[in-house]
Structure 1
Amino acid sequence: MLEARGLVYRYPDSSRGLEACSLAIAPGSRNALLGANGSGKTTLLQHFNALLRPTGGELHLGGQALTYSRAELKALRCRVGLVFQNPDRQLFSASVEEDVSFGPLNLGLDEATVRERVAAALAATGMTACAARPVHQLSHGQKKRVCIAGVLAMHPEVLLLDEPMAGLDAAMQRELLTLLDDLSGQGISIVVATHDIDFAYAWADRVHLLQAGRCLASFAADEWPAWRQTLLAAGQPLPAVLELQQQLQRLGIVDSAPARSLTELVAALAEKPADFAVDRRKEV
């Protein structure tokens, strides 16, 4: 669907952004980009949306190399939408409805189609009641939802999000996670750059590890234990649930396949007889 092939990028001050970075995003997949600050996550997302043009390598969309012609850039940005970490960088219209309308209007769509797309995007993000509100009166979480709605109104096939959980409280994070699950269920490919290891492990289908502008590894999320040393070397700790389960396995309390979330682990423990853990501790 979307592929970076040996992307190289240098910023105007000659500092490195990407260094022979290669990875692929499959149709309908859920992807987590991991890496320390400065590893190239945001730079890669901006290349995927063609906000930045590589100084080397190629970006492929649907198997075709992007030539960066005006027509191709327009087509790419219809198919690949980017949500910035800071929503104030992305919102510029007076009201919510105006902001979400901006993209479809610039496609030259008729008024009825634009209204239909905007209404659907606001409904999908739970922002219908805020359609007429001034953007500056929204909370941080609401602004992020409007940014996502603006991208959804373009009917993208790929949604890119840079640190979407940043600045959100626990309730807002749960709401955003539900939204991402709904969008994934519609077949949209989602790529999330994040520092939240537990979220990445529980949510993603595939994990892509970046360091110093390179993609060190791409693997299925359930293969995480096999990549432990590579992740630790890149400064990425084990997900808390995986570390806890490994400790419980050493004690002989659980022997199931690695759980992807605390909910899964609790369910596995609940299946054990009530006196099982006590008996095992006595044996130890």
Structure 2
Amino acid sequence: MSGEALLRFAAVCQRYEDGSRGLEECSLSIRPGSRNALLGPNGAGKTTLLLHGVGLLRPARGQVEFQGRPLDYGRAGLRQLRQRVGLVFQNPERQLLSASVYEDISFGPLNLGLPEAQVRQRVEAALGAVGLADCRERAVHQLSFGQKKRVCIAGVLAMEPELLLLDEPLAGLDGPMRREFEALLEQLAGQGITILLSTHDVDFAYRWADDLHLLAEGRCLASFPARELPRQQALLAAAGQALPAVLGLHRRLADLGLLPDEPPRSLDALLAALDGAAPDLKRNPA
């Protein structure tokens, strides 16, 4: 993957106070405007990497860069970074600070010292983006788990970031909530926001992401366009990941001569390909 990086991790090493390894010579780059998924087993370093991306951790060795410049870990530097890079934690309870939805989302813009009218405009825009405009006055504790995650994203969006980092955003969501959340991610990406998220769901990562990054034992084993995933089985296995289910199904159908060899990236795309092949199958039944 070429081009200037928006966010770059260069041989980053991280050790925790108990001596456990967080990252080990971890290097990867995030392209502006791209959708990125971090894949890897528990303990691979995915959350640690995201914390470094917003300056909550500082490398023991190596370097994190934003728009080609090393992060400035001084108070002013981190304040500026967090206006441009937002992090959403896996557990929304870690991030929700206020009693009401409106108060929580307005917390960041108010801390920037923005005029009240501008804060209100940002909060209303963020509420609309996540589909919670009718919940602005509700108490945070009355919200569902999925709604709490949306409030956390809205709080980050109110800062108008260029890069959105999300730690396991689909964890704990049921089927309908997952579909709503994926639609929200599509909407945000369509607005030009660069997205980097961690996930255990390789099927979702394959159909959604532009670029995939495989982590294991604190290292980035490989980064590549998502469309190349079918040719990366060995690397997927090294990162503790199975092939997406759609690829196994496609392989069986291709072997039967029902579909071309080029695999689709989602079940919907596979079904559409089967529908397109249906007239030929009727004319040439097996």
Q: Could you list the runs of 5+ residues in structure 2 that have no partner in the other structure?
A: 1-5
- 2:112 is matched with 107
Note the C-alpha offset of 1:249. Answer: 1.2
List per-residue Cα deviations over 1:152-177 (Å, max 9, x = no partner): 00000000111111111111111111
Please list, as runs of the form range in 1=range in 2, the aligned pairs for 1:221-240 lying within 5 A after superposition. Answer: 221-240=226-245
CA distance in 2, matches of 1:257, 1:79: 38
Give the Cα separation in 2 of the matches to 1:60 and 1:143.
Answer: 31
The share of aligned pairs that are identical, in percent, is 61
* Length-normalised TM-score, structure 2: 0.96
**1:91 counterpart SS class:** coil
Which residue is 1:248 aligned to? 253
**Could you tell me how far apart the structure 1 residues matched to 2:278 and 2:231 are?**
30
How far did residue 229 of structure 1 move? 1.2
| One-letter amino acid of the counterpart of residue 42, structure 1 | T
Which structure 1 segments of 5+ residues have no match?
none
Pick from 149, 152, 155 the counterpart of residue 147 of structure 1.
152
Return the letter of the residue paired with 1:78: Q
Q: Which residue of 2 aligns with 1:211?
A: 216
Distance 1:251 1:106 in 2: 61
**Aligned partners of 1:178 and 1:254: how far apart in 2?**
28
Q: In angstroms, what is the RMSD of aligned CA positions?
A: 1.3
SS in 2 for 1:21: strand
Residue identity opposite 1:54 in structure 2 = P
Whether 2:72 is the aligned partner of 1:67: answer yes
User: Residue 214 of structure 1 aligns to which amino acid in structure 2?
Assistant: R
1:49 aligned residue (34, 48, 54): 54
Question: What's the offset of the Cα at 1:67?
Answer: 2.8
User: SS state of the match for residue 258, structure 2?
Assistant: coil
1 CA distance for matches of 2:185 and 2:198?
A: 14
Runs of 4+ in 1 over 6 A off after TM superposition: none
Structure 1 counterpart of 2:95:
90
TM-score (norm: length of structure 1):
0.96
Aligned length: 281
Cα distance in 1, alignment partners of residues 223 and 135 from structure 2: 39
| Partner AA of 2:56 in structure 1 | L
Matched residue type, 1:65: P
Q: Please, which of 163, 168, 174 is the counterpart of residue 173 of structure 2?
A: 168
Q: Does the CA-based 8 Å contact 1:253-1:277 persist in structure 2?
A: no
